Structure 1
């Protein structure tokens, strides 16, 4: 059974739900223009899903997409551009679509309802200007997950913008934003509240796993945890899993110039070379991608496909159980994909294993790796 490193407890623990065959998982998705950095936590969620489903669990997945252009990383009124780009990019990387993928603008009623509940329970307060803030002092365990306890000041849940409902207003900085009516005034939500309202609505007041990038652990996920727990009176997310920081040529890929997946395809590389390059590094460790590393991953991907196509010409044989058990253990042990790839390469060079057995074993695990390894069958 799959075991993951829980960011909150700092222990590797089973993530399977107690007494249920349904794993409820939320992924914190794009808050700005979509780039390679957004795809790393999405890949983590996809791997969790694929391994859990192989273990016989049903996975109920949800991810949000912020389409308001508000807060840090906003795109100045991009509409649903980020959502469409994220959908297309995850599809190109063979990531399975979540059952629920609402845009923030589609769930405004849920956001307003949650803010109202926090005010009623004494965890938030409205100002005369129509803003609403979370009372940080009302949640004493803030900062435990990121290791920054006692570091909170009150943060906004609702920002007043005095414009007619449904219209857009353009601020001096060029940010075009839609506004909505709420009991405390006209405005729009701050960026953190949507990552509480969405999972609580679609996954329930207690769900199994919250997935995101480590760069958003503080303060975004700390705030999401505080809001959700304050609203439900319990730990809303049983476990938290974070992917490591992604750099590109030594620079953070989530700030400044975003590297889109389309740039990889424009360079003549298979988009799945990005997936392979990420799998070569443990999900919790930082990774520094370069064009050289992506070209190397592209060459390795094509080589593996050729090998699988060669083995397909031989008589089929059962999966090699000894190799397969080692690979499965690596997957179950905190998704150790570098070990998985190393073990599969060991199988590739093991002359005691028949080609037909290598073929079946590689295909068996490609259901998790999702690298389209049979793509060259019949082409060589």
Structure 2
């Protein structure tokens, strides 16, 4: 059975479901007033690998992934556009709801391109305002929240377990963590459950405390409760969600319902670009489309993510992506070769079962995808019959999700390979045959055949 590192317990634990045969799982989804970048997608792939492993062990996974839409944008962000894309869309007369739908559609397309299984429900935050208000009312009634001028704040001092996820406790929290500056709070640690609408705000809702809008953290509590219940099995997200978002989600959910919110918390580490944190100012924020525009297969990025442990920082470079695409192409070429030389067998050898057991042992060990990929490569070099290698490749790919058996002679040629072909043609014209032969070997090693007329 799958074992995962639980951020809550700080230990690697075997997954034991609350309901026999069913795993209830929630993933913090995208904020849809911008494109998801490749760091976001890495975190969603982590959740996808968890789900695939569980489902292939005969568990039914109920997977919820929320959509944080424009209802949570501050008015000044709406008015200024927040970024050039939003500003341009508003200038074209598009509504903020249309903008949100545009970015949500883009996110779903990106998920599809990297073979992320679609969640069973993608609840939108603005469709669940009544559920959020209901939880806030419950917190006020239970004495865990207070009102000031139409704003509702969670009283952190009342929740004794605050900090159990992030280990941000008491004075350490006050001194070491940046908190929202708000003179209306009793305590700087308190966080907003419901915010009174400022004058001129367009996106707002009626509530028992007047017109306003929900705080960021309450949405996940409301949607998780609606679709998964008071307590569920697995909650995934990026490491940057641990505090304050997930810490606050635990506090408000457990204070409202009096039961443990989540059994296993799983967080993926940051993706760096050329050794630096991705940021607009640094100009190193990459989207999946940026990779495609450079001629890369989106699944080469998925393969690359699989070569680094999810709890380790991953340093993305185009050199490493090129290497991942080369490896992926080689594996696909091998699958084609094995298919051509396969002899159908009704039995499965003990060696084949051993390879399968090795692979599963790795993926079950805290999502050991890199180690599982190493097993895969070892298997390709083994003495197994071609038919068994091909079947193992198909079986492993049900988890890896990188289309290992999709290679064919008509496969698309990347920009880099196309450039190499053109360069080699020029060298042959110039009679630089040794240089041309060197490039020929590079093209062949990438999984392509070279035939000269």
Q: What is the TM-score with the length of structure 2 in the denominator?
A: 0.77
Unaligned ranges ≥5, structure 2: 83-95, 175-188, 411-448
Which residue in the other structure is 1:54 paired with? 56
Equivalent residues of 1:7, 1:241 under 8 A apart: yes
Distance, in Å, in 2 between the alignment partners of 1:323 and 1:46 is: 23
Which residue in the other structure is 2:327 paired with? 300
* SS of equivalent residue, structure 1 residue 288: strand
Query: 1:316 Cα shift?
Result: 3.6
Equivalent residues of 1:65, 1:82 under 8 A apart: no
Distance change >3 Å, CA 321–CA 99, structure 1 → 2? same
Distance, in Å, in 2 between the alignment partners of 1:109 and 1:120 is: 16
Aligned with 1:82 (options 91, 103, 113) = 103
Which residue in the other structure is 1:41 paired with? 43
Distance, in Å, in 1 between the alignment partners of 2:103 and 2:233 is: 26
Aligned with 1:93 (options 94, 107, 114) = 114
Distance change >3 Å, CA 146–CA 71, structure 1 → 2? farther
Distance change >3 Å, CA 209–CA 161, structure 1 → 2? same
Which residue in the other structure is 1:260 paired with? 287
Distance change >3 Å, CA 69–CA 264, structure 1 → 2? farther
Matched, 1:315 2:343: yes
Which residue in the other structure is 1:195 paired with? 220
Q: Which one has the bigger helix percentage?
A: 2
* SS of equivalent residue, structure 2 residue 123: coil
Aligned with 2:151 (options 115, 123, 131) = 131
* SS of equivalent residue, structure 1 residue 146: coil
Distance, in Å, in 2 between the alignment partners of 1:117 and 1:368 is: 42
Paired residues for 1:90-239 under 5 Å: 90-128=111-149, 130-150=150-170, 151=173, 153-162=189-198, 169=201, 178-239=203-264
Distance, in Å, in 1 between the alignment partners of 2:250 and 2:279 is: 22
Equivalent residues of 2:71, 2:126 under 8 A apart: no
Equivalent residues of 2:71, 2:125 under 8 A apart: no
| Structure with max Cα Rg | 2
Which residue in the other structure is 1:22 paired with? 22
Equivalent residues of 2:18, 2:232 under 8 A apart: no
Distance change >3 Å, CA 109–CA 116, structure 1 → 2? same
Q: Deviations over 1:168-201 (max 9, x none)?
A: 83xxxxxxx6111111121111211112111111
Distance, in Å, in 1 between the alignment partners of 2:259 and 2:407 is: 50
Query: 1:377 Cα shift?
Result: 4.7
* SS of equivalent residue, structure 1 residue 23: strand
Distance, in Å, in 1 between the alignment partners of 2:101 and 2:160 is: 36
Equivalent residues of 1:83, 1:103 under 8 A apart: no
Query: 1:19 Cα shift?
Result: 4.5
* SS of equivalent residue, structure 1 residue 133: strand
Q: Deviations over 1:29-68 (max 9, x none)?
A: 2235211121122111111111111110000000111112
Equivalent residues of 2:22, 2:61 under 8 A apart: yes
Count of residues paired in the alignment: 367
Distance change >3 Å, CA 325–CA 229, structure 1 → 2? same
Equivalent residues of 1:35, 1:253 under 8 A apart: no
Matched, 1:326 2:358: yes
* SS of equivalent residue, structure 1 residue 302: helix
Query: 1:376 Cα shift?
Result: 1.4
Equivalent residues of 2:271, 2:313 under 8 A apart: yes
Query: 1:71 Cα shift?
Result: 5.8
Distance change >3 Å, CA 366–CA 247, structure 1 → 2? same
Which residue in the other structure is 1:273 paired with? 300
**RMSD of Structure 2 on Structure 1 (CA):** 2.0
